[in-house]
């Protein structure tokens, strides 16, 4: 099947900070270049992995502006604009459109736990406010609300709501979404360990955490699955599975930023309430990296 924008392998980019806690703009540009050189198909800044809840609105706009500029149209940029205040999300989506983002990834409202009708109206209002394509983002383990099949199907009828990033972990629900949604609407895995399984049921790719560190390897898994070589995709997935799982032994993006710092890619700096990983996590990450010989990936295209 022909790949379209925001299908294939997308990286949920970390936001690198300097030691004083400000955005490391030079590191953002370096990370974008490394990702594109490794063959990723699109980039997704300002999501969970990008520590979006700790970024101000102006910082989010600046990060997206940096990613758009560094990408220079080589790959699309799917910018994260979601939250529990619909008006604020609309304002941010318009700013992202202004600075050149190619699409919006919009997580469901969290904390205020709207009804399914509330979710439908929320996304409809966002879709009405921008000409950019919108990818829904369902991650009930973080938000406390599940974007149900019927609601996704209703939203898929809107012209610029083009897909959903599914991180519910519920493969049956994902199958039902694929069966119920309008033609052309796509589903992406939001979980690295489930990517091959999701593509086997008709998913069109992955928005990955692990690809921050190993973009080439994660791209290869998705491209094998796209070609129908599920056996090859499974073999590579099985080899990398200890690393994919280790990235979530503490809250994302704590482990992946620690790994990237160990690889010399970024400073290991977080914003509160996130803090560096504990000793047990560091030991596990170190062991996995050594076992899989991944530390050399920092220098590979």
Please pick, among 60, 123, 137, 257, the residue that the annotation labels catalytic. 137
268 membership: H or E segment, kind and range: none
Please pick, among 165, 227, 257, 293, the residue that the annotation labels catalytic. 165
Are 185 and 163 spatial neighbours (Cβ–Cβ below 8 Å)? yes
**Quick one: tokens of 53?**
């809840």
Angstrom distance (rounded) from CA 149 to CA 96: 28
Torsion sign across C-alpha atoms 211, 102, 141, 223:
negative
Task: For residue 227, indicate whether it is catalytic.
Answer: no
Sheet holding 205-208, edge to edge: 42-44, 8-12, 205-208, 186-189, 161-166, 134-138, 103-107, 78-80
Q: Give the three-state DSSP class for 44.
A: strand
Task: For residue 137, indicate whether it is catalytic.
Answer: yes
Angstrom distance (rounded) from CA 228 to CA 173: 22
Radius of gyration in angstroms for the set of CA atoms belonging to the chain, rounded to a whole number:
18
Catalytic residues, by residue number, are 137, 165
């Amino acid at each position: 099947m022909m790949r379209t924008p925001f299908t294939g392998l997308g990286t949920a980019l970390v936001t690198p900070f300097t030691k004083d806690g400000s955005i490391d703009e030079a590191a953002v540009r370096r990370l974008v270049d490394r990702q594109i050189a490794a063959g990723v198909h699109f980039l997704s800044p300002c999501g969970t992995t990008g520590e979006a809840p700790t970024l101000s609105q102006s910082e989010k706009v600046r990060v997206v502006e940096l990613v758009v500029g560094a990408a220079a149209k080589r790959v699309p940029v799917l910018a994260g604009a979601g939250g529990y205040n619909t008006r604020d999300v609309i304002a941010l989506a318009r700013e992202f459109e202004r600075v050149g983002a190619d699409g919006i990834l919009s997580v469901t409202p969290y904390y205020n736990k709207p009804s399914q009708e509330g979710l439908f109206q929320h996304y409809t209002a966002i879709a009405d406010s921008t000409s950019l394509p919108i990818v829904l983002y369902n991650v009930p383990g973080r938000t406390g609300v599940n974007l149900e099949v019927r609601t996704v199907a209703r939203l898929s009828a809107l012209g610029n709501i083009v897909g959903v990033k599914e991180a519910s972990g519920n493969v049956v629900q994902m199958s039902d979404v694929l069966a119920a949604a309008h033609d052309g609407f796509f589903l992406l895995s939001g979980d690295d360990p489930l990517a091959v399984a999701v593509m086997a049921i008709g998913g069109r790719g992955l928005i990955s955490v692990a690809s921050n560190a190993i973009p080439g390897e994660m791209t290869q898994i998705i491209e094998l699955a796209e070609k129908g070589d599920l056996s090859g995709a499974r073999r590579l997935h099985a080899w990398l599975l200890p690393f994919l799982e280790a990235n979530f032994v503490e809250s994302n993006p704590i482990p992946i930023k620690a790994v990237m710092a160990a690889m010399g890619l970024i400073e290991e700096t977080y914003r509160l309430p996130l803090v560096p990983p504990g000793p047990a996590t560091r030991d596990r990450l170190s062991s996995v990296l050594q076992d899989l010989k991944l530390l050399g990936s920092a220098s590979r295209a």
